[in-house]
Structure 1
Amino acid sequence: MSGTIDFNQLVVFIRVIQAGSLSEAARHLKMPKSTVSRKIADLEERVGERLIQRTTRKLSLTEAGRVLFERVAPAMSDIEEAESAVAGMRGAPRGVLRVAAPMSSSTLGPVVAEYLVRHPDVAVEMVCSDRLVDLVGERFDVAIRAGALVDSTLVARNLGKAKSMLVVAPEYSKRHGVPKTPAELANHACVAFGGGVEPHVWTMESKGKRVEVRIKPRLTVNDMEIARVSALAGVGIACLPELFCADDVRNNRLLHLLVDWSFAEIPVHALYPTRRHLSPKVVAFVDLLAERIQLHDS
Structure 2
Amino acid sequence: MDRLHLMTVFVAVAEAESFAGGARRLGMSPPAVTRAVAALEERLGVKLLNRTTRFVRATEAGQRYLDDARRIIGEVDEADEAAAGINAEPRGHLAVTAPALFGKMFVLPGIVEYLRRHPAMEVSALFVDRVVNLLEEGLDVGVRIGELPDSSMKAIRVGSVRRVLCASPAYLEKHGTPADLTALPVHTLIAASAVTPTHEWKFGQGPGASSVRVHPRLTVNNNDAAIEAALQGFGITRLLSYQVAAFVAAGQLRIILNEFEAAPMPIHVLHREGRYASAKIRTFVDLIAARLRGDSALN
Q: TM-score range by the shorter chain?
A: 0.7 to 0.9
Q: How many correspondences in the alignment? A: 292
SS of 1:217 mapped into structure 2: coil
Contact 2:242 2:298 in 1 (8 A): no
Question: Which residue type is aligned with residue 121 of structure 1?
Answer: A
> In structure 2, what is the Cα distance between the partners aligned to 1:274 and 1:90?
15
Contact 2:193 2:220 in 1 (8 A): yes
**How far apart are 1:172 and its partner, in Å?**
2.7
For 2:99, the equivalent position in structure 1 comes to 102
> In structure 2, what is the Cα distance between the partners aligned to 1:197 and 1:136?
26
SS of 1:268 mapped into structure 2: strand
1:3-22 correspondence runs (5 A): 6-22=3-19
**How far apart are 1:39 and its partner, in Å?**
1.4
> In structure 1, what is the Cα distance between the partners aligned to 2:45 and 2:9?
17
> In structure 2, what is the Cα distance between the partners aligned to 1:200 and 1:191?
13
**How far apart are 1:283 and its partner, in Å?**
1.8
SS of 1:50 mapped into structure 2: coil
For 2:158, the equivalent position in structure 1 comes to 159
Q: Mark the runs of 5 or more structure 2 residues left unpaired by the alignment.
A: none
**How far apart are 1:222 and its partner, in Å?**
4.9
SS of 2:217 mapped into structure 1: strand
Deviations 1:183-227, CA, capped at 9 Å, x for gaps:
32222122234379853224148xx97664433223344533333
> In structure 1, what is the Cα distance between the partners aligned to 2:11 and 2:197?
41
1:99-138 correspondence runs (5 A): 99-105=96-102, 106-107=104-105, 108-138=107-137
Contact 2:140 2:272 in 1 (8 A): yes
> In structure 2, what is the Cα distance between the partners aligned to 1:172 and 1:66?
55
> In structure 1, what is the Cα distance between the partners aligned to 2:75 and 2:146?
27
> In structure 2, what is the Cα distance between the partners aligned to 1:68 and 1:22?
17
> In structure 1, what is the Cα distance between the partners aligned to 2:242 and 2:275?
32
SS of 1:155 mapped into structure 2: strand
1:36-115 correspondence runs (5 A): 36-87=33-84, 89=86, 91-105=88-102, 106-107=104-105, 108-115=107-114
1:1-298 correspondence runs (5 A): 6-87=3-84, 89=86, 91-105=88-102, 106-107=104-105, 108-194=107-193, 198-204=198-204, 212-258=211-257, 262-293=261-292, 294=295, 296=298
> In structure 2, what is the Cα distance between the partners aligned to 1:260 and 1:118?
43
SS of 2:183 mapped into structure 1: helix
Deviations 1:220-265, CA, capped at 9 Å, x for gaps:
4453333323322333212222221111122222223345554420
Q: Mark the runs of 5 or more structure 1 residues left unpaired by the alignment.
A: none
Structure 1 residues 70 and 202: alpha-carbon distance in aligned structure 2, compared to 1, 3 A threshold: closer
> In structure 2, what is the Cα distance between the partners aligned to 1:275 and 1:242?
34
> In structure 2, what is the Cα distance between the partners aligned to 1:58 and 1:282?
35
Give the % identical residues.
35
Contact 1:179 1:185 in 2 (8 A): yes
Between structures 1 and 2, the one with greater helix share? 2
Deviations 1:153-199, CA, capped at 9 Å, x for gaps:
22111112113332212443354333233332222122234379853
Judge which range, 43-52 or 262-271, deviates more: 43-52
How well do the aligned residues superpose, as a CA RMSD in angstroms?
3.0
Question: Which residue type is aligned with residue 184 of structure 1?
Answer: A
Question: What's the TM-score, normalizing by structure 2?
Answer: 0.83
> In structure 2, what is the Cα distance between the partners aligned to 1:245 and 1:87?
46
SS of 1:270 mapped into structure 2: strand
Judge which range, 270-279 or 170-179, deviates more: 170-179
Deviations 1:35-69, CA, capped at 9 Å, x for gaps:
22221222233333332223444321123322322
Judge which range, 214-223 or 143-152, deviates more: 214-223
Structure 1 residues 36 and 223: alpha-carbon distance in aligned structure 2, compared to 1, 3 A threshold: same
**How far apart are 1:12 and its partner, in Å?**
0.9
